[in-house]
């Protein structure tokens, strides 16, 4: 039984007729393609008719001006190359040696590259003719006849013509190209249409897998490779063209000599450079690598801060800075590992691209896309909000307790003011500890409360105030000024003026170099969460540590006192230090093997103004994180 016939609407007939007219129109356009002089002759006649009408009726000057601007833009696009040579020059300069030097010229740098227009001739003619017809049509409607002072429009258009053409001529002279075929060799034979199929590479071409080219039979294989490079982005040096399973080797032969005919199909295979195999005869030392390693060694010798950062993830490099030969050997080995990781990552990408129907491959591709999104988000944060990646300096002030100077940590999140037993001994108030207030403080961990000092005199600058303290073991700060004292004496934390205000008295917060030494232990032992690229981020100070930095996740922290009741502060019991240290060292190879991609290397080179070897070394030290690498460089 036949199925139900599809419903028809009155618009179907109109749509069919419209499609028929479009096909007829396209067939006429295709038939007019070879007749270039005739096509342009018709366009010039239409343009002449348009200007004659403008002169006769003395109106529609704004339409003529818009048409002139549009034709000028089309003409400029017709003169410009599809691939701007200035961009290639900038990329070549970016990849040059230090000091602006470039690599030595090679034969590959001077190979033939055909001139491909940004706007092809046929599209130029079609767009110009259509614009002239539309402009001529608009001159029959009074609504487009706007009153304007036409000499101003003529002068402005001439100025635009002179400026744009002068810039275009300067561009042509600078990059040595001529957008016309006058005086150039012409191929008298009929063009061949060939198809190039590629499947094992991901190229910058919108139509996946197929490229159709119209080429003369006298075109050499080398020129064909250059043409394919301009269309797909695959470098000509690593292209392998195959015909009927046979590779085409002689680049100097023409397509006719190679037996390539009309409608032939060629296969394109891109062979990436092979990594040098380990073992066998050792390679000769690379002078550029030797210079880069020596430059990095000198920087480590003169920069203790950078030396400390590198020691956390690459202690062997820091230990070898006094021995140039050993340092160079270790540096070369690390650079080899980076190249090996890049090769493996590229092989993994190729494997995923060739097996997209596999659910595991799809999951891995999705994970990589998410990582790219996260990395882009982190890069935007680094550019727009770089201070969020820095270390926050804690708030300390100088106070006097019973005339004894002591540094107090200001913490508005702690409910009670807390003192350590050693500070109580130092200030002479240990005999005043009331053990009836003792107990156990519970929070992130537990800590023993020895008791309470009910009354002591605390001096803030010129202001004296009575104070009480909870004396607690396991604190990394001598005195923690809690919310009870802040509210009782109406203290105000003014971050804009960087001071603590107490009833009109300003007490400046201590600068970073005057902070107690125990702050290093606080930063080391604060609770941490996993960050991007294997790094860890402190949950209280926001400090970012590179991969491989051992840290105790159950830690002591001054901000742990922000609980409720007297047991607000906390201190976790010490764990066996050998176990996390062993885990950290076993995880270092995996953490160092994070992918150091070309994009990350270029990011560090661009923002840090350093060469490639330095960028690779910094990324290794930062575990593949470009933000941390730049932080190492700037520090």
Residues 329-347 have a mean pLDDT of 82
Task: Report how far residue 576's alpha carbon sits from residue 196's, in angstroms, rounded to the nearest whole number.
Answer: 64
**Per-residue pLDDT reduced to its tens digit, 528-559:** 655 555 556 665 545 555 555 544 433 333 43
**Per-residue pLDDT reduced to its tens digit, 170-183:** 888 887 777 766 55
Residues 43-68 have a mean pLDDT of 90
Q: Phi and psi (nearest 5°) for 601?
A: -65, -45
Residue 43 has what pLDDT? 92
Distances (CA, A) of 312 to 54, 316, 319: 79, 10, 12
Task: With a cut of 50, say whether residue 561 has pLDDT above it.
Answer: no
For 325, residues 6+ apart whose C-beta sits below 8 A from its C-beta are none
Residue 23 has what pLDDT? 85
CA 326 to chain centre: 34
Task: Report how far residue 31's alpha carbon sits from residue 35's, in angstroms, rounded to the nearest whole number.
Answer: 8
Residue 556 has what pLDDT? 38
Secondary structure (H, E, C), 211-253: EEEEECCCCEHHHHHHHHHHHHCCCHHHEEEEECCEECCCCCC
Residue 93 has what pLDDT? 53
Q: Which residues are catalytic?
A: 411
Residue 158 has what pLDDT? 92
Residue 536 has what pLDDT? 64
Residue 583 has what pLDDT? 39
CA 20 to chain centre: 49
Low-confidence winner among 147-156, 170-179, 322-331, 532-541 (lowest mean pLDDT): 532-541
Residue 562 has what pLDDT? 39
SS3 447: strand
Map out the domains of the chain with their CATH numbers.
Answer: 19-82+117-175 (no CATH), 192-270 (3.10.20.90), 396-520 (2.40.70.10)
Residue 45 has what pLDDT? 93
Average pLDDT, the chain: 74
Residue 215 has what pLDDT? 84
**Per-residue pLDDT reduced to its tens digit, 503-521:** 878 888 988 888 876 655 5
Task: With a cut of 50, say whether residue 421 has pLDDT above it.
Answer: yes
Task: Report how far residue 189's alpha carbon sits from residue 255's, in angstroms, rounded to the nearest whole number.
Answer: 12
Asked if residue 404 lies in contact with residue 427, where contact means CB atoms within 8 angstroms, the answer is yes
Residue 464's DSSP bridge partners are 459
pTM (two decimals): 0.35
**Per-residue pLDDT reduced to its tens digit, 218-241:** 888 888 888 888 777 778 888 888
Low-confidence winner among 59-73, 162-176, 365-379, 407-421 (lowest mean pLDDT): 365-379
352/564: higher pLDDT: 352
Task: Report how far residue 615's alpha carbon sits from residue 292's, in angstroms, rounded to the nearest whole number.
Answer: 10
Task: With a cut of 60, say whether residue 292 has pLDDT above it.
Answer: yes
């Amino acid at each position: 039984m036949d199925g139900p016939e599809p419903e028809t609407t009155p618009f179907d007939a109109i749509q069919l007729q419209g499609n028929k007219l479009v096909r007829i129109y396209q067939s006429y356009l295709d038939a007019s393609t070879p007749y270039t002089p005739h096509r342009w002759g018709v366009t010039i006649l239409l343009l002449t008719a348009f200007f004659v009408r403008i002169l006769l009726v003395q109106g529609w000057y704004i339409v003529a001006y818009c048409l002139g601007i549009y034709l000028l833009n089309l003409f400029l696009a017709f003169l410009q190359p599809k691939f701007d040579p200035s961009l290639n020059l900038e990329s070549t300069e970016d990849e040059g040696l230090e000091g602006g030097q470039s690599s030595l010229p090679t034969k590959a740098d001077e190979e033939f590259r055909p001139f491909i227009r940004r706007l092809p001739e046929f599209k130029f003619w079609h767009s110009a003719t259509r614009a002239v017809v539309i402009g001529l049509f608009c001159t029959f409607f009074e609504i487009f006849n706007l009153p304007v002072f036409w000499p101003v429009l003529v002068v402005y258009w001439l100025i635009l013509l002179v400026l744009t053409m002068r810039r275009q001529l300067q561009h042509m002279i600078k990059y040595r190209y001529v957008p016309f075929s006058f005086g150039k060799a012409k191929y008298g034979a009929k063009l061949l249409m060939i198809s190039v199929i590629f499947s094992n590479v991901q190229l910058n071409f919108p139509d996946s897998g197929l490229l159709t080219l119209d080429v003369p039979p006298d075109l050499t294989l080398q020129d064909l490779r250059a043409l394919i490079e301009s269309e797909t982005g695959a470098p000509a040096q690593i292209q392998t063209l195959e015909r009927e399973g046979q590779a085409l080797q002689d680049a100097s032969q023409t397509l006719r000599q190679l037996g390539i005919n009309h409608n032939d199909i060629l296969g394109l295979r891109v062979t990436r450079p092979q990594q040098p195999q380990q073992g066998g005869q050792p390679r000769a030392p690379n002078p550029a690598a030797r210079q880069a390693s020596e430059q990095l060694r000198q920087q480590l010798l003169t920069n203790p801060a950078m030396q400390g950062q590198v020691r956390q993830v690459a202690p062997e490099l820091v230990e070898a800075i006094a021995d140039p030969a050993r340092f160079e050997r270790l540096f070369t080995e690390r650079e080899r590992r980076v190249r090996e990781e890049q090769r493996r990552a590229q092989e993994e990408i190729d494997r995923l691209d060739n097996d997209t129907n596999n659910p595991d491959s799809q999951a891995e591709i999705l994970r990589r896309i998410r990582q790219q999104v996260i990395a882009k988000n982190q890069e935007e944060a680094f550019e727009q909000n770089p201070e969020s990646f820095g270390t926050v300096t804690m708030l300390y002030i100088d106070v006097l307790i019973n005339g004894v100077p002591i540094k107090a940590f200001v913490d508005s999140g702690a409910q009670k003011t807390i003192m350590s037993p050693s500070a109580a001994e130092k200030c002479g108030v240990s005999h005043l500890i009331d053990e009836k207030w003792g107990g156990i403080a519970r929070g992130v961990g537990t800590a023993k409360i020895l008791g309470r000092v009910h009354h002591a005199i605390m001096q803030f600058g010129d202001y004296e105030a009575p104070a009480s303290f909870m004396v607690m073991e396991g604190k990394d700060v001598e005195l923690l000024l809690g919310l009870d004292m802040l509210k009782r004496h109406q203290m105000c934390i003014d971050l804009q003026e960087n001071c603590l205000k107490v009833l009109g008295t300003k007490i400046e917060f201590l600068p970073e170099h005057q902070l107690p030494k125990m702050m290093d232990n606080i930063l080391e032992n604060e609770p941490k969460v996993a960050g991007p690229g294997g790094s860890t981020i402190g949950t209280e100070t926001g400090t970012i540590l590179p991969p491989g930095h051992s840290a105790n996740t159950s830690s002591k922290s001054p901000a742990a006192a922000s609980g409720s009741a007297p047991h607000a502060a906390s201190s976790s019991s010490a764990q066996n230090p050998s176990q996390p240290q062993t885990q950290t060292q076993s995880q270092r190879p995996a953490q160092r093997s994070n992918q150091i991609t070309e994009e990350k290397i270029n990011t560090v080179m661009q923002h840090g103004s350093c060469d490639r070897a330095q960028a690779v070394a910094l990324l290794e030290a930062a575990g593949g994180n470009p933000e941390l690498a730049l932080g190492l460089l700037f520090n």
